[in-house]
Structure formats: structure tokens, C-alpha cells
Amino acid sequence: MINYKTREEAELIRKSCKIVNDAIAETAKILRPGITTMQLNDRAEEYIRSKGAIPNFKGYEGYPFATCISVNAAVVHGFPDDLPLKKGDVVSVDVGAVLDGWHGDSAYTFVLKNTTPEVVELIKTTKESLYEGIRKATAGNRIGDISSAIQQHTEKQKGYGVVRELVGHGLGRDLHEDPQIPNYGKRGTGHVLKEGLVIAIEPMINLGRKEVYTKDDGWTVVTRDGKPAAHFEHNVFVQKGKADILSSFESIEKAEKANEFLYSE
């Protein structure tokens, strides 16, 4: 069942998203070789709580932490841990928060300098594919239009692996609502998008092959070939003509640019 949102409700989701994105920006300020992903997690969690919100991942189907931090071959749902990050690491930070009953969920992939041209291209292309998908998220289009745009930009054009096992989703009163938003599919197929739908679009793209497995922690999704992956996520309010992006990478990109340890475009 799909729950459509009013403009007022979408604005409440935007408030949750702002906290989520600023929490990711806080991690971007302190990212450097030697820092642990648990330190990033704790900074993000502290920030969310300081804004009166609650981390919505913690306890979700038993997930034990406030954030998912996925390094290198980890695609998504990585556990924060006490291992120091190293030069060249690819670090995806996925954060969620609930404020006044409304959920926000967003993710961004950082790269610690120095990196390779192929990793730079993967990160750039994955972020672009998110916006390609968002461009199709308008009333009257179908879910397959979003999915196909992401797949075309990544798999068809660059030969990257598009993860099949995990998908984007509706959100609002719950972190995960209907419908599912796959990152692969056919144009003109699937549910028709209607005004008021709020969805998380989240391409998970592998530099190498598309196959993944889940580690024995029960959560961490890792590429089979051990090559790195990227993940970006926005929450989007479907409208006629143009989607309204409720999350924003503005504070994150500002912090990324200001951090000498991070690669930025």
C-alpha cells in the first residue's frame, strides 16, 4: 500500500532530511586517515540527538548502530568499527533520523586521498546516476523509468555492476514504505508515479561485477570480487514536471571541499 504525502508532510520530512544531511556533513569534517568508522558513527549520532531527533536505523530489524558505514568492498549496511581508515579508502556514510514521527534517510560516498582515476569515475558516475533517476521521478512516469535511467548511466554506459539485491523505497511515517525502487529495470514498466509519493532513490554501484554477499555479521553487504562500490541516496517528493528533492548534499559537499584529506571534484 502506498501512502501519499501532503506538501505539509513533505516539509516535515525535509526537516528530518536536513538533520540527516548535516549529520553526514559532520562526519565529512572529521574524516581523515587514522579515524575509525565508530568515531564517525558517534559524531553523527550525537549530532542527530542534539537536534532532538532519533537515529532510526538503530533497532531497525535489529540493526545495532545509528549509521551504516561501508568501506571499500562493503557496499551498504557496514557496521561502524574500531579499525582506523587509511589513505585511498572509499567510505559510504548512510544516516537516518526520525523527527516528530517523520523519517529521513540519505547516503554519500567519500574518498580519502589519494585515489585512482577509476575510483573517481565510479563515485562521479554513481552520484550522476542518482540525479538521472531523480529527473525521471515525476508524476505520470513509472518506477521503471527511474530504474532504467540509473542502470543506463552506470551499467550500460560504464560497465559497472548494479546491485540487484537491494533497492530504494518509499518513506515517511516509516523508514521503509512501498513502493520499492530498483536501480535496474525497463522504461515504461512498473507503478505509475503520482504526486505526493515520497521515495528514497539510492543507487548502489560496484566498480566491478554486480554480485554481492552478506558477511556473517548478518548485515554488511560486500562485493564478491572485492572491488569498491559507491552509494548515494536522496529522498524525493514526486510532483508534476519536476521532482522536489527533500534531502540536500549542500552542507556535505561544502565540508568535503574544505577537508584536505578528502577527494572532491
Q: Which residues bind ligand MF3 (CB under 6 A)?
A: 57, 60-61, 63, 68, 77, 94, 96, 105, 107, 169, 200
Positive or negative, the CA dihedral 21, 26, 28, 34 is: negative
Min separation Cβ 116 and Co ion, Å: 28
Neighbouring-strand partners of residue 234: 201
Cell numbers for 181: 525502487
77/127 with CB nearer ligand MF3: 77
For Co ion, the closer of residues 76 and 85 by Cβ is: 76
Q: Which stretch binds Co ion (CB under 5 A): 16-24, 62-70, 154-162, 197-205?
A: 197-205
Q: Are strands 244-245 and 234-237 parallel, antiparallel or unpaired?
A: antiparallel
**Residue 182 binds: one of Co ion, ligand MF3, none (C-beta under 5 to 8 A by kind):** none
Q: Which of these, 162, 165, 224, 168, lies nearest to 198 by C-alpha position? A: 168
Which of ligand MF3, Co ion, none does residue 60 bind (CB under 5 to 8 Å by kind)? ligand MF3
Select 47 or 261, whichever has its Cβ closest to ligand MF3.
Answer: 47
* Least spacing, CB of residue 119 vs ligand MF3, in Å: 22
- By C-beta, is 92 or 125 nearer to ligand MF3? 92
Contacts of 182-185 with CB under 8 Å at 24 or more apart are 182/143, 182/147, 183/129, 183/133, 183/147, 183/150, 183/151, 183/154, 184/147, 184/148, 184/150, 184/151, 184/155, 185/143, 185/144, 185/147, 185/148, 185/151
Alpha-carbon span 145 to 191, nearest angstrom = 10
212, 110 contact by CB (below 8 A): no
Q: Which C-beta is closer to ligand MF3: that of 10 or that of 107?
A: 107
Q: Quick one: which of 22, 89, 105, 132 contacts Co ion (CB under 5 A)?
A: 105
Q: Does 17 bind Co ion (CB under 5 A)?
A: no
**Least distance to ligand MF3, CB of residue 140, Å:** 26
- Confirm if 175 and 212 have CB atoms less than 8 A apart: no
* Binding site partner of 227, from ligand MF3, Co ion, none, Cβ cut-off 5-8 A by kind: none
Interaction between residue 177 and Co ion (CB under 5 A): no
Q: Is 200 in the site for Co ion (CB under 5 A)?
A: yes
Nearer residue to Co ion within complex by CB, 148 or 235:
235
| Positions in the binding site for Co ion (CB under 5 A) | 105, 200
